[in-house]
Structure 1
Amino acid sequence: MAKFNKVGLIAKNSDLSVSETLNDVYMLVQNLGLEVLLDSSTRGLLGGPVTVDMDVIGNECDLAIVIGGDGTLLRAARELVNTNVPLVGVNRGRLGFLVDVSPDGKLHELVEIINGKYIEEHRLMLSCELLRGGEVIHRSLAFNDMVMRTKNVIQIIEFEIAINGSFVLSQRADGIIVATPSGSTAYSLSSGGPIVNPNLNALVVQPICPHTLSSRPLVVTAESEISLLVTEKKPVYAQMVCDGQIYNDLQNDDVIEVRKHNRSIRILHPSNYDYHYILREKLNWG
């Protein structure tokens, strides 16, 4: 018997490559007797059904199924984290650390999840603020990471790092990453950062190509407040980037403050989910 009553379907934005899987999931959920709402990202992929905005799914659904890659799930997580609606991902992307339901066969893993047979995780997220002249000019959430990086030029940027108001260091680098445990297998990993188990209450502070041989990543408690001050004296060509999807240009003396968001996102996995198996498969370990 289904554990859920109303399901929202979210897809990679108007991407025809996911339409077949989206249709399979749509028909499956309907055949299980559940009510279905289609997010506006599915517009044009199924033909007739009416679509709704994401906030309607957050207010009315008790499960959201994401069809696409990890990037699609990142967007859904940012928009739904404050609603307590759990997410399950059907993989139509490339790597797929987060969207781990296979679209092959009869979607039996998805059927099991809908019927209440799953592993639930609560993944922490970041709350990021950009301050200019002491005033907050932009707020954003991030599931994987917040990146401060140079923009469109090959040059380093100078900045200071403080944690809980305590000065840590001044650094010259291509940028810096503040990553959640989920994001530790994304940009941070390719920059030489550690893999952090998603159940740990921790954050990774990972410099990007630092101009010193002694710089190392930091792993800090997720209760930390991390502040980044742009101290570069020359005109700054840099950005604050959240999840590789939300971009904001920086100016000299801007401050970025990053902390754990006060709500976590619920992720549902198949009952046979094994984090270390995912690492072996995705990273080609022996």
Structure 2
Amino acid sequence: MQSQFRHVALIGKYQAVGSGSTGASSRRAMEDIAHFLHAQGCEVAFEAETARNLGITGHAMLDVDGIGAQCDLGLVVGGDGTMLGIGRQLACHNVPLIGINQGRLGFITDIPLEGYQAVLLPMLHGAYEEDRRSLMQARVMRDGHCVFDALAMNDVVVNRGATSGMVELRVEVDGHFVANQRADGLII
């Protein structure tokens, strides 16, 4: 039976390095997953930074926009931070993501690396339940100008940065005033 996903992007831990025992282990895991996906009839591309950092060659490499344009699935191998980061970047492309946990927590990258094949195989053939996540858009305005604008999947953290003392924050949701806040920062 052929996978319902034809072109899969493999995305690894942000700034993972291929040297040392941990890096070699990550590289082996990624190459093993690529081989497994090929055996299921999938075309595999590596996220370009992942491939460079791990020293992976011999596979197609795509940046985030390329993944968004060419892939119908992103397979994230890392921890929740890796999933949150790439989820933010790929949100505008509407590429579904599946997470294989190579981190510590695994709340949203909940497929264990050991034995991933048994869980991933049925998913590739359509046996999964989609879990859509809400996104927040955060903007930091200073003197009427936007100085920061980003999407967030889990939370938004605004802090004072390197300055001393507290910051004054005006919080609005969908353009409606919520609160004025003097604090070291704010987590939403």
Same fold flag (TM > 0.5):
yes
Change (3 A) 1:34 1:50: closer
Residue type matched to 2:41 in 1? G
Q: Deviations over 1:73-105 (max 9, x none)?
A: 112111211111100001001111110111113
1:9 aligns with 2:19: no
Contact 1:8 1:64 (C-alpha < 8 Å) held by counterparts: yes
Contact 1:14 1:41 (C-alpha < 8 Å) held by counterparts: no
Shift of 1:163: 4.4
1:22 aligns with 2:30: yes
Structure 1 residue corresponding to 2:39, chosen from 12, 31, 37: 31
Tell me the distance in 2 between the aligned counterparts of 1:153 and 1:133: 17
More off after superposition, 132-141 vs 52-61 = 132-141
Contact 2:99 2:110 (C-alpha < 8 Å) held by counterparts: yes
Tell me the distance in 1 between the aligned counterparts of 2:148 and 2:168: 21
Change (3 A) 1:63 1:145: same
**Which of structures 1 and 2 has the bigger CA Rg?**
1
TM-score by length of 1: 0.57
Tell me the distance in 2 between the aligned counterparts of 1:166 and 1:127: 14
Tell me the distance in 2 between the aligned counterparts of 1:38 and 1:85: 15
Match of 1:132 in 2: 142
Residue type matched to 2:161 in 1? K
Match of 1:256 in 2: none
Tell me the distance in 1 between the aligned counterparts of 2:170 and 2:43: 51
Q: Which runs of 5+ in 2 are unaligned?
A: none
Q: Which runs of 5+ in 1 are unaligned?
A: 179-286
Tell me the distance in 2 between the aligned counterparts of 1:36 and 1:51: 9
More off after superposition, 153-162 vs 16-25 = 153-162
Which residues in structure 2 correspond to 1:186-197 (within 5 Å)?
none
Residue type matched to 2:65 in 1? D
Tell me the distance in 2 between the aligned counterparts of 1:115 and 1:55: 26
Change (3 A) 1:136 1:156: closer
Tell me the distance in 2 between the aligned counterparts of 1:171 and 1:99: 34
Residue type matched to 1:7 in 2? V
Tell me the distance in 2 between the aligned counterparts of 1:57 and 1:147: 28
Change (3 A) 1:52 1:167: closer
Which residues in structure 2 correspond to 1:6-85 (within 5 Å)?
6-12=7-13, 13-16=15-18, 17=22, 18-44=26-52, 45=54, 46-85=56-95
- Please state which structure has a larger fraction of its residues in helix: 2
Tell me the distance in 2 between the aligned counterparts of 1:167 and 1:106: 46
Residue type matched to 1:174 in 2? D
For CA contacts below 8 A with separation 6 or more, give which structure has more relative contact order. 1
TM-score by length of 2: 0.84
Shift of 1:119: 1.6
Match of 1:114 in 2: 124
1:141 aligns with 2:151: yes
